[in-house]
Amino acid sequence: EAALLQQLPLFMAAVLVLNATPGVDLLLTVSRTAQSGMRAGFMAALGINAGCALHALAAAFGLAALLAWSAAAFTLVKWVGAAYLVWLGIGMLRNAWRPSAAAAATAQAGRAHDVSPAADFRRGLLTNLLNPKVALFMLAFLPQFIPAQALHKTAAFLALGAIFIVQSLLF
């Protein structure tokens, strides 16, 4: 397990670079923060990291291998994820096209209903879970830092997944 600890600084640096690279998760967090404040952005980030945790667990226990092996499963998850992102985009466009006075009134009246912390968490969770690239990323990235001679590969996988998630949440 000493080899795993030796690679930990490299792993943490790689995770930092990945977190700083713009993608769907980062854009969702930034847009929710800009639209509705820090609480909304934080809840979206919590949802995203909950999705990462589920992906890491699935990858650690081999479920993500199914997505890598089955083209049909991968395609299904990809299309469901794409449909969800289109749905989010249409909602953003509708809000952007509303007349400014009406949008302000609607935003004021519907703030508690449309922008709840639970809705932001769900949005982050679904955006991450429905992105099959995250599952394949976890399956391909985390094992690179687990030495072949490690006795407890699943435990090492889970530990690296936890470190990934904590660092991502802090980012």
Across the chain, mean pLDDT equals 79
Q: How far is CA 160 from CA 82, 98, 121, 140, in A?
A: 28, 45, 23, 13
Out of 22-26, 50-54, 128-132, the most confident range is 50-54
Average pLDDT over residues 111-135: 81
- pLDDT of 104 strictly over 90: no
pLDDT band, very low/low/confident/very high, at 122 (cuts 50, 70, 90): very high
Of all residues in the chain, the percent with pLDDT exceeding 70 is 78
The rounded radius of gyration (Å) of the Cα atoms in the chain is 18
The pLDDT value recorded for residue 109 is 38
- 26-67: per-residue pLDDT in tens? 889 999 999 899 999 999 999 999 999 999 898 888 765 665
Angle at 73 between CA 123 and CA 67, to 5 degrees: 85
Q: How far apart are CA 154 and CA 163, in angstroms?
A: 14
